[in-house]
Amino acid sequence: MRHAASGLRLDESPSADPRAGGAIVSVGATRPTVPTGAYIEHMRAETRERAAALSAPPALDAGQGSPPGRHERLGRLLEGLGPELVGLSHDIHDHPETGWNEHYAMAAVGALLESHGIDHEDGVFDLATALRAEVGAIDDARAPAVAILCEYDALPGIGHGCGHNVMCAQAVGAFLALAAIDRELDGGLPGRVVLQTTPAEENSTCKEILARRGAFDGVDAAVMAHSYGYDLTRQTWLGARRFRVVFTGVPAHASAAPFMGRNALDAAVLALDGISMLRQQLSPTDRVHAVIVDGGQVPNIIPQRAEVSARVRSKYPETLVDLFRRVSDVFRGAGLMAGVGVEIIADGSPNEMPVRDNRPLLRSWVRAQRERGREPLPFGVVTESIAAGTDFGNVSVRLPGIHPLVSVGDESLMLHTREMEEAAGSPTGDAAVLDGAYGLAAVVADYLDDADLREQVRADFESEGGVIDVGAMFRSM
C-alpha cells in the first residue's frame, strides 16, 4: 500500500519498531534551508574598506630586535627545513586526532626533533599527549625565556578544520630554526626557548592545566599563531565559561495526575526562552549557547529531571563574570517558575580567558611578516562579530604573549569548516607553515636579543592589568 502524499509504501518504511507489530512512517520530511553567503560577502567588502581607511599596523624599527643578519639566517634555515615542516603538517593533517588522543601527532613531532638531535620529554605535567623540549641557556635561571606553544588536536567529524596541523608545523619550525642558531652562535642563544605542545584546545582547557602545573614558571613570554582566512595582527577572542544546570522536579502520571507533578523539563524550556529574551540586552560581543541534554524518558510521565549544558562568552574578564551571573539568574528564575530545584554546576577547570595580545611583540610579528611579503591587517578591520575562543587567553593574562592569525587560503574561510580543513592541507596552507614559522622565530629572536624590547613588553603587559589570578576570578562566579 502506498501513501498518497508521501509516496512511501507503508510496509516498506525504513524505520520500523519491531515491538509495535507494524511500520512507523515518516510523512512530509523537509530539508534544512541553506544558509546565505551574503553576510560573508558583505564582510569581505567591509573589510577591504576598513583596510583602506585604517593605518597599517606599526612594526619594530630597523634598530630594534635582533642584530643585522639574524632574520636572514632564520629565513635560510627555514627554507632548508621547508620539506620536513610541510611533511609534518601534511602527516598530522592526514591523521586527525581529537583532544587528549594526539598520540600520533606527538610522536611525529618527537621524531622530527630527534632527527635534529634535540631531546624531548613526552607526557609532561601528567598529560599523556603533551611534549616539551628546550634549547638555549637552559641552565641559566637569569636568562630570558620564551615558550613557543604548539596545538595539534583536530575536530570530531571535520578533522583539521581549525588548521592546527599548520600551527603545529609553524611552532616546530620556529623552534628548530632557533635551535640551529643556538648551535651556531658562540655561547649560544642569549636565553632559553621552550617548545610546549598543548593538547586538547578544542575540547578542554589544557593551557590552564599546564599553567597550574608549572609549565610557564620561569617563562617570560609565550607566542603562537593561528590559522585563518586573513592575515591579522590580532582579533577578538572571547573568554568562555562552561557549566551544566540540573533541574529536579516531582514525577507524576502526565494524564491521570499531572497536578501532582513538578515538571523539570518546563524549567529547562523556560530557561532557554529567558536566555533568548536576555540576548536583546547583551553587548554585541557576548554569546550564550545552551542545549537540553536530558528532558525526560517518556511523555506520559512528568519529567523529574532535566539537564542543560550551557556556555557563556564575553570579551573582557569582568563582563564574562557579569554575564555568567545574569544567565545563572535566568536558570534560577526558571526553576522558581516551574517549582523545581536548580543546581548550577560549573566546569571544574576554569575555561577560556579573553586573549590579551602584547603590542611590542606584535610589532615584531608585523615586521617579520612583511619580510615574508605578507601584510597583516590591524585590529578592527575584520568585524568583531566573527569571534571564537581559545585557551591561549589563559596564558596571555599570566605573561606577555601574542596570538596573531595567518591566512591559509581564501578570505571567505571560516573556522571549524570543511573548507578550512581542505585549505589547511593545501599549497596555501603549506606557505602559511613557513611564513608563520619565520614570524614566530623572528619574534623570539628579537625578544631574546633586545633588552629594551623586553622592557617594553613587560611595561605593556603591566599597563593592561598585569597578571590575573584566573582561579580566583572563576571562583567568584
- Contacts of 351 by beta carbon, 8 Å cutoff, 6+ apart: 205, 208, 239, 240, 241, 242, 391, 474
In the chain, the amino acid numbered 246 is V
Looking at residues 30-52, what average pLDDT do you find? 83
3-state secondary structure of 194: strand
More confident residue, 472 or 444: 444
- Contacts of 267 by beta carbon, 8 Å cutoff, 6+ apart: 247, 249, 306, 334, 335, 337, 338, 340, 342
Ordered strands of the 121-122 beta sheet? 121-122, 131-136, 192-197, 145-150, 221-223, 401-402
Residue 236 has which C-alpha cell? 577578538
Is residue 11 very low, low, confident or very high in pLDDT (cuts 50, 70, 90)?
A: very low
Backbone φ and ψ for 302, nearest 5 degrees, come out as -60, 120
DSSP code string of 356-424: ---HHHHHHHHHHHHHTT--PBPTTSS-TTS-B--THHHHHTTS-EE--EEE-S-TT--TTSHHHHHHH
Q: What is the C-alpha separation between 8 and 79, in angstroms, rounded?
A: 62
Asked if the model's pLDDT at residue 2 lies above 60, the reply is no
Asked if the model's pLDDT at residue 231 lies above 70, the reply is yes
3-state secondary structure string, 334-357? Answer: HHHHHCCEEEEEECCCCCCCCCCC
Q: What is the pLDDT of residue 25?
A: 66
In the chain, the amino acid numbered 457 is V
Residue among 439, 406, 402 at smallest CA distance from 78: 439
Is residue 22 very low, low, confident or very high in pLDDT (cuts 50, 70, 90)?
A: low
DSSP code string of 257-313: -GGG-B-HHHHHHHHHHHHHHHGGGS-TT-EEEEEEEE--S-TTB--SEEEEEEEEE
Residue range 141-177, pLDDT digits in tens: 999 999 999 999 999 999 999 999 999 999 999 999 9
Asked if the model's pLDDT at residue 408 lies above 70, the reply is yes
pTM over 0.75: yes
Cell 573548507 sits on residue: 419
3-state secondary structure of 1: coil
Is residue 279 very low, low, confident or very high in pLDDT (cuts 50, 70, 90)?
A: very high
Tell how strand 341-346 and strand 145-150 pair up. unpaired
Asked if the model's pLDDT at residue 125 lies above 50, the reply is yes
Residue among 148, 150, 151, 167 at smallest CA distance from 97: 151
Q: What is the pLDDT of residue 20?
A: 52
Q: What is the pLDDT of residue 348?
A: 76
3-state secondary structure of 146: strand
Residue among 196, 177, 191 at smallest CA distance from 133: 196
Asked if the model's pLDDT at residue 10 lies above 70, the reply is no
Q: Could you tell me how many helices (H) and strands (E) the chain has, helices first?
A: 13, 14
Cβ–Cβ under 8 Å, residues 461 and 362 = no
Residue range 74-124, pLDDT digits in tens: 999 999 999 999 999 999 999 999 999 999 999 999 999 999 999 999 999
Find the DSSP H helices in 116-203. 164-184
Asked if the model's pLDDT at residue 461 lies above 50, the reply is yes
